[in-house]
Chains A and B, each alone.
Chain A
């Protein structure tokens, strides 16, 4: 028997379909897709990344935009799922957006990179450029490289080379535990650690090499117990997002006091979780000056400006500024948003980033070459803190660009 609520349901559907009028997209913008998690265990990273992109784009737009047009960011939530990312990619292509940025999770990066390559090969008139700002599995610029993928972060091997240099110099370390997330990046970190340590400090014993499911472990105490039981003097981990927060919390709770050598143990909640327990103990390898103890002026201004807009968040991925600006530069250089011409302009492009470093996009494998920094978690001399916690990263050492370069196995096929 029909009920009034039936009608209500029908009209709800109707309203949903026609009622939500979209933003009338102005024709004169350059649309850039941002495919990253805006929900799920890594939402904080994705949302903060989006804010940093918007901040950098606003600065470019204020200065006149690119080719007279404003940059417009189109966020698309992929929930760190390769699946969902491809669905978003299809949307991006369907709407004619020529550039996409993605960075959270190398697993997703592989799927997107693969899909972009296939699509570009099959649809020469409708290509998409994939700008990878944070997925650092080395394979993406080695055996899985291709012409339409550009990477703007130092990859896992570049970073591990710097980390292992620091470990090499520390004679107190005799046993190391490696813990990581069970996917391409985590595996790459473990592999690189084992092989590089084997060359630089063969006397160091690897007492644990463990992978855990990504984004699923609720309680890291059992892992912390194993680390303690193994007698390790140091821990190497590539964990990020919720997994790094969980590990830091469990390490604090369990009273684990050994040094940590990490890729992502700062910001997005991690610094606050580590707190006082990690001072002078947790180290991070990353790609731009940390801002402390003395930040280069441009960087200091950039961070301060961002903090005014987002008091609870940090400029924890300054490579976003680099990536967006290099794209803008390449478009200007090419004089068009045609993907093939922009890619050609982006290859070999040199740029001075906001931290004052001279970076260059290597033609051979589309890997940006840059210096690599090692910083330590502390509360001394911190002018720009993280997570509004009073703690932050202070610069310890820097590996210059030419020394940080790693050889590549890329055999790039160029479009004719």
Chain B
């Protein structure tokens, strides 16, 4: 029998926001929208805009996933199916629009994706949501693998190994807006991010959204109160499929290609990773997770071939030690922030950061050298690490990195309890001392 989720995972950050009133919440959304508009002008490197577009898509996808996991308690290993199917339908719709078969301008393409995701979620959800827990997870895995494997069979819809390509420059225009430049696509994605995030937030506040939380925590009791857990799960599932489909549609517009991989286990695994790292108990969690994950995935892969290992370690560390995720970590400081005692933490945290960086450099260095020795680069003698050329075949760099790790670890053992105590002290209710 499933045990109830721990307290850390239950309270949603929105509970606090609701006390401040609707106007303030609206202001918050407006602020976010403005930030998104201004961002491309603040960060001017050319590679930033495509990455921000990628982040936007990931945000919508992760938020839709959290409707299932965080709010509904349903762990799905096949959520990418609805993302992928939404994308394929959007791509086909865009191609149809390009051939003037239907009037569908680019800004409305994600809706086609959403529709596709919704329809498939309604079909598959009919039997997927009969039970929750492990059975649900297994069915979702089965459906995911089924769809991914079917792509070679239904190759008119899925395009076989090459996938389906589309061209957003050929679609009919809405208000004369073209979407040939990266920045224009970014604004379209940003618009949809705000709209869908607001919609998903609103959904979580509706009665059925709140009951979904109840069903997650105690389905038997929810049933006694009068709601059918199965029906509630089904509705959540369909809603999640809708928004995943919208994310897929955005993907189709941005990359103009969909392949079977977009539906597969890797994509489903990625969204699980990013949502969990961000924190499943908070609305902001998946957003943070999507941003961090996309950022690390894009930037890290430039510097190291083992970025997925680092992400995996981060994920596992989150699961084991910080199950509330990044958002949970931030929320942990909420009482201190409200009491204005955050500055006290700077000192202890800085100490921890310093030792942490030292330990991390040691560990990362050792990993990178191991990777170097096992990969194609091993014919070269040296590798540039942290700006210095090291020779992994000699003992010196190994000793150095091990020493760094040891120093860092010992320092952390000393500094961390002080930081913990400082946080507890800062969070303590009552007047500041």
Q: Do chains A and B touch in the complex (CB under 8 A)?
A: yes
Task: Give chain A's interface residues, CB within 8 Å of chain B.
Answer: 1-17, 19-24, 38-39, 47-48, 50-51, 77, 81-83, 86-87, 90-91, 93-96, 107, 110-111, 114-115, 118, 121-123, 182-184, 213-214, 309-310
A183 touches B262 (CB 8 A): no
Of residues 279 through 307 on chain B, the ones whose CB sits less than 8 Å from some CB of chain A are 292, 296, 298-305
Partner of B180, one of A7, A90, A114, A122: A122
Q: Which residue of A lies closest to B353 (CB)?
A: A11
Chain A residues closer than 8 Å to B321, beta-carbon distance: 3, 5-6, 9
- By beta carbon, the residue of chain B nearest A22 is B303
| Among B106-114, B231-239, B414-422, the stretch in contact with A | B414-422
For the complex of A and B, the 7 pairs showing the least CB-CB separation, nearest first, are A11-B356, A4-B416, A94-B47, A15-B360, A183-B161, A47-B376, A122-B180
Chain B residues near A11 (CB-CB < 8 A): 352-353, 355-357, 359-360
Rounded to whole angstroms, the CA-CA distance of A110 and B359 in the bound complex is 45
Which chain A residue has the least Cβ–Cβ distance from B50? Answer: A90
Encoded as 1 (CB less than 8 Å from any A CB) or 0, chain B from 131 to 161 comes to 0000000000000000000001000000011
CA of A51 to CA of B417, assembled, Å: 49
Residues of the B chain whose Cβ atoms lie less than 8 Å from the Cβ of A310: 379
Residues of B within 8 A of A (CB): 45-47, 50, 54, 152, 160-163, 165, 167, 169, 180-181, 255-257, 259, 261-262, 292, 296, 298-305, 310, 313-314, 317-318, 321-322, 329, 332, 349, 352-353, 355-357, 359-361, 364, 375-376, 379, 384-387, 412-413, 416-417, 419-420, 423-424
Known: A5-B322, A115-B257. A183 touches B160 (CB 8 A): yes
Q: Compute how far the CA of A315 lies from the CA of B423 in the bound complex, rounded to whole angstroms.
A: 61
Minimum CB distance partner of B169 in chain A: A122
A214 in contact with B165 (CB, 8 Å): no
A216 smallest CB distance to B (angstroms): 9
Contact between chains at A6 and B314 (CB < 8 Å): no
B152 touches A19 (CB 8 A): no
Q: A23-B384, A183-B160 are in contact. List 17 more A-B contacts (CB 8 A).
A: A7-B349, A8-B317, A8-B359, A8-B416, A9-B317, A12-B310, A12-B360, A16-B360, A19-B360, A19-B364, A20-B300, A77-B301, A82-B162, A83-B163, A118-B167, A121-B169, A183-B162
> Of B255, B298, B376, which is within 8 A of A51 by CB?
B376
A47 to B378, CA, bound (A): 11
Grouping DSSP codes into helix (H, G, I), strand (E, B) and loop, the B interface class, with mixed when no group exceeds half, is helix
Residues in B with CB closer than 8 Å to A16 are 296, 300, 310, 360, 364
CA distance A204 to B372 in the complex (A): 52
Q: How far is the CB of B306 from chain A (nearest CB, A)?
A: 10
Q: When chains A and B are docked, how far (Å) is the Cα of A23 from the Cα of B300?
A: 13
Residues of B within 8 Å of A1, CB to CB, are: 424
Q: List the B residue with the shortest CB-CB distance to A80.
A: B161
Q: A5-B322, A94-B50 are in contact. Are A19 and B361 (CB under 8 A)?
A: yes
- Say yes or no: A118 contacts B169, CB within 8 Å: yes
**Quick one: closest B residue to A48, CB to CB?**
B376
Whether the pair A115, B256 counts as a contact (CB closer than 8 A) is yes
CB distance from A137 to the nearest CB of B (A): 9
A91–B416 contact, CB under 8 A?
no
B295 nearest CB across to chain A (Å): 8
Nearest B residue to A44 via CB reads: B376
Q: Which of A15, A93, A118, A122 has the most CB of B within 10 A?
A: A15
Query: Which residues on B sit within 8 Å (CB–CB) of A96?
Result: 46
In the assembled complex, the CB of A310 is this many whole angstroms from the nearest CB of chain B, namely: 6
User: Can you list 28 A-B contacts (CB < 8 A)?
Assistant: A1-B424, A4-B412, A5-B322, A6-B329, A7-B412, A9-B314, A9-B318, A10-B353, A13-B314, A15-B356, A15-B360, A19-B357, A19-B360, A19-B364, A20-B385, A83-B259, A90-B50, A93-B46, A94-B45, A95-B46, A96-B46, A107-B161, A115-B256, A121-B169, A122-B181, A183-B162, A213-B152, A214-B161
A111 and B420 within 8 A (CB): no
Q: How far apart are the CA atoms of A11 and B165 in the complex, in Å?
A: 41
| B384 CB contacts on chain A under 8 angstroms | 23
With the chains together, A14 CA to B364 CA distance in Å? 12
B261 with A83: CB separation less than 8 A: yes
Q: Is the CB of A38 within 8 A of B322?
A: no
Which chain B residue has the least Cβ–Cβ distance from A8?
B356
Rounded to whole Å, the gap between the CB of B246 and the closest CB of chain A is 19
In this complex, the member of A9, A22, A48, A50 whose beta carbon has the largest number of chain B beta carbons within 10 angstroms is: A9
- Give the chain A neighbours of B301 by CB distance below 8 A: 77
CA distance A6 to B314 in the complex (A): 11
Residues of B within 8 A of A50 (CB): 376
A-chain residues with CB within 8 Å of residue B385 when the two chains form the complex: 20
* Closest CB in chain A relative to B323 CB, distance in Å: 11
Contacting residues, chain B, for A77 (C-beta < 8 A): 301, 305
Minimal beta-carbon separation of A82 from chain B (angstroms): 5
Q: Tell me the nearest residue of chain B to A5, going by C-beta.
A: B321
A6 to B277 alpha-carbon distance, docked (Å): 12
A4 (CB) vs chain B CBs: closest residue = B416
Q: Contact at B313–A12, with CB atoms within 8 Å? A: yes
Task: Identify which of A3, A83, A309 contacts B379 (C-beta below 8 A).
Answer: A309
Nearest chain A CB to B330's CB is how many angstroms away?
A: 10
Give min CB distance, B304 to chain A, whole Å. 6
Question: For A309, what are the chain B residues with a Cβ–Cβ distance below 8 Å?
Answer: 379
Nearest CB in chain A: distance from B226 CB, A: 36
Supposing A86-B255, A182-B160, A184-B161 touch, asked if A22 and B361 sit within 8 A by C-beta, the answer is no
Question: In the docked arrangement, what's the CA distance between A310 and B386, Å?
Answer: 27
Report the separation of the CA atoms of residues A83 and B420 in the bound assembly, to the nearest whole angstrom.
44
Find out whether the CB atom of A83 lies under 8 angstroms from the CB atom of B376.
no
Closest B residue to A122 by beta carbon equals B180
For residue A13, which residues in chain B have a CB less than 8 angstroms away from its CB?
292, 296, 314
Residue of B nearest to A117 (CB): B167
Q: Is the CB of B314 within 8 A of A111?
A: no
Distance, CA A3 to CA B417, complexed state (A): 8
CA distance A16 to B293 in the complex (A): 12
Query: Nearest-CB distance from B350 to chain A (Å)?
Result: 10
- Contact between A91 and B300, CB atoms less than 8 A apart: no
Chain B's nearest CB lies how many Å from the CB of A130?
A: 15
Known: A4-B420, A8-B356, A214-B161. A20 touches B47 (CB 8 A): no
User: Across the interface, which residues of B come within 8 angstroms of A115, CB to CB?
Assistant: 256-257
Residues on B with C-beta less than 8 A from A83 are 163, 255, 257, 259, 261-262
- Which chain A positions have C-beta within 8 A of B167? 118
Per the bound structure, the CA–CA distance linking A8 and B167 in Å amounts to 46
A20 touches which one: B356, B364, B379 (CB < 8 A)? B364
Once bound together, how far apart are the Cα atoms of A47 and B377, in whole Å? 9
Q: Whole-angstrom distance from the CB of B170 to the nearest CB of chain A?
A: 10
Chain B residues with CB under 8 A of A87: 54, 255, 298
In the bound assembly, the distance between CA atoms of A182 and B387 in angstroms comes to: 45
- Nearest chain B residue, comparing its CB with the CB of A92: B47
Which residues from chain A contact B314 at a C-beta distance below 8 Å?
A: 9, 12-13
Residues on B with C-beta less than 8 A from A121 are: 169
